């Protein structure tokens, strides 16, 4: 299985790019299918593949040392994709991070560790990673980057409290954060989330 799937426009021809990050047990191929639902037709799309289809072995809120090695390797894969885009001349403010579940957590974590002006971050059910949030480990300023987090108000994997704490921290780092929280128990990507992202975050492309 390849480490990285590319789709959409060629990096040399695209003016925008998105890194799509799959969830636990899923694949780069499955997250690429989001291109059928999001306004990404003019984007270069890069989807890294996690070893064993899992970015880190335990819950994103497990004791830090339990996920540390896997998380470092996974963040490295995202960095590699990000660097590949920048090397082709696409500015960071035209780069988007889009993830679901584990991929949403990884999207937010990578963005916060490297805060800068991005096109946007889309987290379908996720929060910043760690047993407890540690603001001191994040650096940079988002300079108004739009960040979307959508989830259930009682998701089995991602507590609402962690989403709220993450949103607050990201805002303090200069992001413009929008959360859409739904009154259902589903661990999924909802049509309303896709519509909001298309209308407010991707409509300029």
Confidence of residue 65 (pLDDT cuts 50, 70, 90): very high
Res 132: pLDDT: 97
Span 55-73, mean pLDDT? 97
Res 203: pLDDT: 78
Confidence of residue 58 (pLDDT cuts 50, 70, 90): very high
Q: Please count the structural domains in the chain.
A: 1
Confidence of residue 2 (pLDDT cuts 50, 70, 90): confident
- Is residue 1 over pLDDT 60? no
For residues 28 and 4, the answer to whether their CB atoms sit within 8 Å is yes
Instruction: Using a cut of 0.85, tell me whether the model's pTM lies above it.
Output: yes
Res 180: pLDDT: 98
Confidence of residue 119 (pLDDT cuts 50, 70, 90): very high
- Is residue 205 over pLDDT 60? no
- Is residue 204 over pLDDT 80? no
Mean pLDDT estimate for the chain: 96
Domain containing 112 — which CATH number?
3.40.50.1820
Q: How far is CA 110 from CA 19, 153, 182, in A?
A: 11, 24, 25
Please state, in angstroms and rounded to a whole number, the distance separating the CA atoms of residues 149 and 142.
16
Span 26-42, mean pLDDT? 96
User: Would you state the structure tokens that stand for residue 182, as one six-digit string?
Assistant: 């739904």
Span 107-123, mean pLDDT? 98
Domain of residue 51 covers: 4-201
Span 103-127, mean pLDDT? 98
């Amino acid at each position: 299985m390849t480490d990285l799937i590319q789709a959409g426009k060629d990096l040399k021809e695209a003016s925008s790019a998105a890194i799509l990050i799959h969830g636990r047990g899923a694949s780069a191929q499955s997250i690429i299918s989001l291109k059928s639902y999001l306004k990404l037709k003019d984007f270069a799309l890069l989807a890294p593949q996690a070893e064993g289809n899992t970015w880190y072995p335990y819950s994103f809120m497990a004791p830090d040392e339990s996920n540390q090695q896997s998380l470092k390797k996974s963040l490295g894969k995202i960095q590699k994709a990000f660097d590949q885009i920048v090397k082709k001349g696409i500015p960071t403010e035209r780069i988007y991070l889009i993830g679901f579940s584990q991929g949403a957590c990884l999207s937010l974590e990578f963005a916060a560790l490297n805060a800068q002006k991005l096109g946007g971050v889309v987290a379908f059910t996720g929060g910043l990673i760690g047993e407890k949030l540690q603001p001191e480990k994040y650096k940079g300023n988002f300079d108004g980057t739009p960040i979307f987090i959508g989830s259930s108000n009682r998701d089995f994997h991602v507590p609402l409290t962690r989403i709220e704490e993450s949103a607050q921290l990201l805002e303090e780092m200069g992001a413009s954060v929008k959360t859409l929280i739904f009154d259902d128990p589903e661990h999924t990507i909802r049509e309303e989330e896709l519509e909001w992202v298309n209308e407010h975050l991707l409509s300029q492309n």
